[in-house]
Amino acid sequence: QIAVVTGGGRGIGRSIAQGLSNEGATLVLVSRTQSQLEAAASAIRESGGDVSHISADVTDKAAVSEIADRLRADFGRVDILVNNAGGGIEPKTVAESDPDLWIQDVNVNLISAYLVTHALLPLMKDNGGKIINVGSGMGHSSGGGSSAYHVGKAGMWMFTRCLADEVWEDGITVNELIPGPVATDLTAGRMEV
């Protein structure tokens, strides 16, 4: 099976990719940071996995279109899509927030999943498949501060539900994965290990 993991260069995405590889999937890792992609791909190859990677910003529509073109040329299909790209960018309250950072936060946590899914659905519709959107408990509750992250992940939750209603007849299942608090580079300094 061909599995695409966004945000696959580190943290949760890298662990998901390794797990999929361990089950025999051919992996395509997508992330902005080339060095992280190379390290993740190297680790998967060392464990016997088949992996390639694409350095791209999944909040950029043109870059996502290029990802879809490459996947179409290289594989002709996608069986598993994990929309994992995300992170907390603007932790401040609404009143204190920087509007550009707030919008960037929502883009990486929600709009990226829409863009990637929209571009890759044509590669899934003929054979069915699975879409896993990595959400957060913060998308199911409110709280002071980090409103952009709450909003982005709340949107991801509803996007997951709407998409599931639209594609089930094509044999595509769509689910939200909420991993809970995880010690990664992105949460360093915010949680004790």
The Cα–Cα gap between 173 and 33 comes to 29
Instruction: Calculate the alpha carbon distances from 144 to 98, 148, 190 in Å.
Output: 16, 11, 16
Q: Which two tokens stand for residue 6?
A: 């966004």
Buried (b) or exposed (e) across 93-120, using 16+ Cβ within 10 A?
eeeebeeeebebbbbbbbbbbbbbbebb
Buried-exposed string 124-151: b where 16+ CB fall within 10 A, e elsewhere: beeeebbbbbbbbebbeeeeeebbbbbb
The CA distance from 134 to 2, in Å, is: 18
- Annotated catalytic residue: which of 2, 54, 147, 149? 149
- 114 catalytic per annotation: no
**Segments in 47-146 forming alpha helices (H):** 61-74, 99-106, 112-120
Contact criterion met (CB below 8 Å) for 53 and 41: yes
Residues marked as catalytic = 149
